[in-house]
Amino acid sequence: MKKQWLVIALFPSAVWAQGANNSEKAGYSYFTFGVENVKYQEHFPGLTSDVMISSPMLNTGGLYRVTDKFDFSIDTMATFSPMGNQEKWKDGNGLVTQTNQFEYLKASTHVMLQYKWQENWRLLAGGSLTYQTYTRYGLKKFTSGESNIFKEGNTWEEKSTNLFADVGIAYDSGTLWGTDKWRAMGRLTAGIPLYSATENTAFPDASFNAFGYRTNFESTLSYELTKGLHLGWYVAIGYEKRFEADSVRVTYIDANGQPQTGLAWLPEADTWNVNTGLQALWYF
């Protein structure tokens, strides 16, 4: 199958921190290249899927000064050239009933207002837009009968767009121009979707609205190469829960090539992700 590429416009990473007092050298820009590892599960009545997949990852953005008490951050992330893996579907007894190849792509933009609660601690509030693509193909069934919708030899794609409201807390040990050559940053956030829309190529006339929540912890430890330039290692660990969505009436093509109508829904799903990579930070 032709690889699916996701092209997104990342916010420019080479942006200078803003502020009335530039002499404090507050803020920074950064760029990360690494890998995202994802474990994804779906839960139907009596049937569960499970797959692990990895993709290269780009992450860029920055922290920009607003006032002595407030900062503003933008973070964008995208995966590309997904490394497909086999997704297994098991029944309630743990027996594999079918397998298929699975690819996953993700792009997101996070915008946060950061309140400097204490010298190194910040309270966060903002939002994020996330776009996810799930592609399945190469279906193989190990039970009798064929699905009216998902057939061997077909490819189907699911696209999900979500707008999240996020809150959190962050720790920042200091600016890139501080006296300490080592710098540490950590951020813990949680959010719920304000808007959610998911479409599946198997049901071209339907859109599903799901609810859930997510949490994420990320951290960078960096070392000063020269004043205003740090190189470090970035790690992020996240979890996203999607509850089962209400059913909607859909139109599909059955095994005989005839259009049919029925009810379909998004199943409950769990996504765990671990991102890690080399990060450069600068403010000159």
Q: What's the pLDDT at 39?
A: 97
Kindly state which CATH superfamily the domain 22-282 is placed in: OPCA outer membrane adhesin/invasin (2.40.128.100)
28 burial level (CB within 10 Å; 0-12, 13-18, 19+)? buried
Question: What are the φ and ψ backbone dihedral angles of 191, each rounded to 5 degrees?
Answer: -155, 165
pLDDT at 153: 77
Domain boundaries, the chain: 22-282
Rg (CA), the chain: 22
Residue count (the chain): 284
Tens-binned pLDDT, residue by residue, of the chain (284 aa): 444 433 333 433 333 333 334 446 778 999 999 999 999 999 999 999 999 999 999 999 999 999 999 999 999 999 999 888 999 999 989 999 999 999 999 999 999 999 999 989 999 999 999 999 999 999 998 887 666 667 777 899 999 999 999 999 999 998 898 889 999 999 999 999 999 999 998 888 889 999 999 999 999 999 999 999 999 999 999 999 999 999 899 887 776 777 888 888 899 999 999 999 999 999 98
Q: Which residues contact 216 (CB under 8 A, 6 or more apart)?
A: 187, 188, 189, 190, 236, 237, 238, 239
DSSP states of 12-72? PS--PPP-S-GGG---EEEEEEEEEEEEEEEEETTEEEEEEEEEEEEEEEEEEE-SSSEEE
Q: What local confidence, expressed as pLDDT, does residue 143 receive?
A: 81
Specify whether the CB–CB gap between 149 and 121 falls below 8 A: no
**What pLDDT was estimated at residue 261?**
87
What's the confidence (pLDDT) of residue 15?
38
Q: In this predicted structure, what is the pLDDT of residue 141?
A: 87
